[in-house]
Structure 1
Amino acid sequence: MPTTLPTLGVGLGHRVELHEAIMVNREAVDWLEIVTDRYLCRDDLLAELVALREHFVLVPHGLEMSVGSDGPLDLAYVDAVARVADAVDAPWFSDHLCFTRDNGIDLGNLVPTVRTAAKARAIAANAQRVQDRVGRPFLLENIATYIEMPGELSQAEMVRAVLDHCDCGLLLDLNNIVVNSVNQGFDAAEHLDSLPLDRVVQVHLAGNSDAAHVGGMLLDSHDAPVGDQVFGLLDRLLGQVASPPAVMIERDAGFSGAFDEIEADLGKAREVLARHAHTHTHAGPGSGAGSEATR
């Protein structure tokens, strides 16, 4: 992981449904996260990305790396991700701390792993191999979970144990912390404080509509403005560490008339970042203190 990473500002997850509004309101969005899997082995869509890259820094975010699988990495998939990252000259790329396939079966979901020290070391080895093979910084995202997996480590301890054994970064999803705190009954702020916050490179912010509350569970629906609790966690994060190089809004549903809400969320995120400006300097994961991020 480089000692310094570019400071991107406040961005948005690119979705086809939002593309026209994004292009019309380019000044409101500092950078874009793209869904890597949409562009794999699609030269026609890669050409669209290259055109989009003329206006925005693009960061690929994948779904199927499956670093938590017991079996070997899918190196063909890793190489396909690398081609997307190379096409847009991505400053880094990311995927989830989970597994999505087992014994060759596609599970169609982000599945949490058992939380053991041995599993953490195995995931770290996979993540390090991915980063080395792609040749760009690789971030792992904490996921939303709806089941409690066995193991001697807490959720936060598992994230820390993985990152202790590789030099990858953390994509910190604050809405996932809120979702898990509801579903598993823990304190979201205490959980945040227990994570390796010095490894955070990127932050996801999202919101969940009332319809996301189902049978006593909260679903990670990304279909509403970012919640006050999520913004509160961002404020708490920035009170402890330097502003991360990149913060972004995720919106995956409820698109009708949504860009006004998204623009408001982008502004709120900038307000939180501005309150903490100049409080810290940012050092990249694995680096010593005092290295400032560069634009």
Structure 2
Amino acid sequence: MKLSGAGLGLRREMLPQLLPELPKEVDFWEVAPENWIPLGGRFQKQFAQCVAQQAFTTHGLSLSIGSTDPVDTNLVRDIKDFLNLHGIELYSEHLSYCSGNGHLYDLMPIPFTEEAVKHVSARIRQVQDILERPLVLENVSYYLAPDQQMSELEFIRAVLAESGCRMLLDVNNLYVNSINHQYDAYQFLQGLPSEKIVYGHIAGHYDEAEDLKVDTHGADVIEPVWDLLACAYELHGVFPTLLERDFNIPAIEVLLAEIARIKSLQATHAESVSKLG
């Protein structure tokens, strides 16, 4: 099924309150494939019940596309089998790395250099050859920029162009980075290639200080992030957008209220485009 509208991340602990019938207000769902591939029994049956009802996408955790370790081709093949088994088209991951002679248990920033562009792009092409579909990569939040020789935007554009991959636009990560690294988030949005954006994420974060935001996915979305999402629709057209909430997960009614707000923004922009047309 093709993604459209507003989505929500599916976690195993949410299944009792969601099944047997997924909420109609949610148009699509996202899972981390690593959390579902080894499962059987009850969870496997419940997941099959879910994918039969609505569209799904995936957002991986451990590909480590920027690492100097060899690509985990066994993982990539397992993910391909998972996608094919459940009729899921998209596999998204993070434009970062999480391994280096072992797992680092965090998303680390790739140096913004020409050498890194070539290194990452070669690894992306290797993954895409195995998957037989484009890899979709998310702009990540980062707190240090080691050996920076180009801007974050220049780096992302170069990787997209050289590798042929596509983009998951995380609007909250963009906001967090713009505060932490003092750049204009709206100029960043303007510089992105519209044709590469497949879908988006929106989430809440933690205010460590006025000039330090920490991406947590554990709070409500704030107004400046909603404003950025509206701007992204104006610049790039309406794209499917998923609400991320990984910690401090409230009742489903609270999540559905934010889902409704995503849909309202999408409808508003679609209506304005229709009037112009």
Whether the 8 Å contact between 2:112 and 2:145 is mirrored in structure 1 is: no
2:243 to 243, 249, 256: 249
Q: TM-score, normalised by structure 2?
A: 0.90
Offset from partner CA, 1:215-264 (integer Å, 9 cap, x none): 552111112222211111111111112222x211001111243x222111
Displacement, 1:135? Answer: 2.0
| Distance verdict in 2 for CA 1:252–1:182, change over 3 Å | same
Whether the 8 Å contact between 1:46 and 1:84 is mirrored in structure 2 is: no
1:207 to 173, 193, 204: 204
Q: TM-score, normalised by structure 1?
A: 0.85
Q: 1:138-287, aligned counterparts within 5 Å?
A: 138-208=135-205, 212-215=206-209, 217-244=212-239, 246-257=240-251, 259-277=252-270
Structure 2 residues not aligned, in runs of 5+: none
Displacement, 1:10? Answer: 0.8
CA distance in 2, matches of 1:235, 1:143: 20
CA distance in 1, matches of 2:225, 2:13: 24
Q: 1:103-142, aligned counterparts within 5 Å?
A: 104-142=101-139
CA distance in 1, matches of 2:231, 2:79: 33
Whether the 8 Å contact between 2:168 and 2:201 is mirrored in structure 1 is: yes
Q: State the identity as a percent.
A: 27
CA distance in 2, matches of 1:37, 1:239: 34
Whether the 8 Å contact between 2:238 and 2:270 is mirrored in structure 1 is: yes
Displacement, 1:152? Answer: 1.5
Q: 1:13-52, aligned counterparts within 5 Å?
A: 13-23=9-19, 26-44=23-41, 45-52=43-50
Whether the 8 Å contact between 1:18 and 1:255 is mirrored in structure 2 is: no
Displacement, 1:8? Answer: 2.3
CA distance in 2, matches of 1:143, 1:167: 19
1:63 matched residue in structure 2: 61
CA distance in 2, matches of 1:62, 1:191: 25
1:101 matched residue in structure 2: 99
2:79 matched residue in structure 1: 81
SS at 2:255's partner residue?
helix
Whether the 8 Å contact between 2:22 and 2:53 is mirrored in structure 1 is: no
SS at 2:119's partner residue?
helix
Flag the structure with more relative contact order, 1 or 2, with Cα contacts below 8 A and sequence separation at least 6.
1
1:248 aligned partner, one-letter code: L
SS at 2:163's partner residue?
coil
| Distance verdict in 2 for CA 1:196–1:150, change over 3 Å | farther
Structure 1 residues not aligned, in runs of 5+: 282-295
CA distance in 2, matches of 1:150, 1:158: 13
SS at 1:158's partner residue?
helix
Whether the 8 Å contact between 1:50 and 1:87 is mirrored in structure 2 is: no
Give runs of ≥4 in structure 1 deviating > 6 Å: 278-281
Whether the 8 Å contact between 2:5 and 2:266 is mirrored in structure 1 is: no
1:226 aligned partner, one-letter code: V
Offset from partner CA, 1:47-92 (integer Å, 9 cap, x none): 4322211112111110111110123211011112112212221121
Whether the 8 Å contact between 1:225 and 1:261 is mirrored in structure 2 is: no
Displacement, 1:120? Answer: 0.9
CA distance in 1, matches of 2:249, 2:237: 32
2:4 aligned partner, one-letter code: L
SS at 1:26's partner residue?
coil
Whether the 8 Å contact between 1:98 and 1:113 is mirrored in structure 2 is: yes
Offset from partner CA, 1:179-208 (integer Å, 9 cap, x none): 111211222212222223321001001112
Whether the 8 Å contact between 2:112 and 2:152 is mirrored in structure 1 is: yes
| Distance verdict in 2 for CA 1:139–1:34, change over 3 Å | same
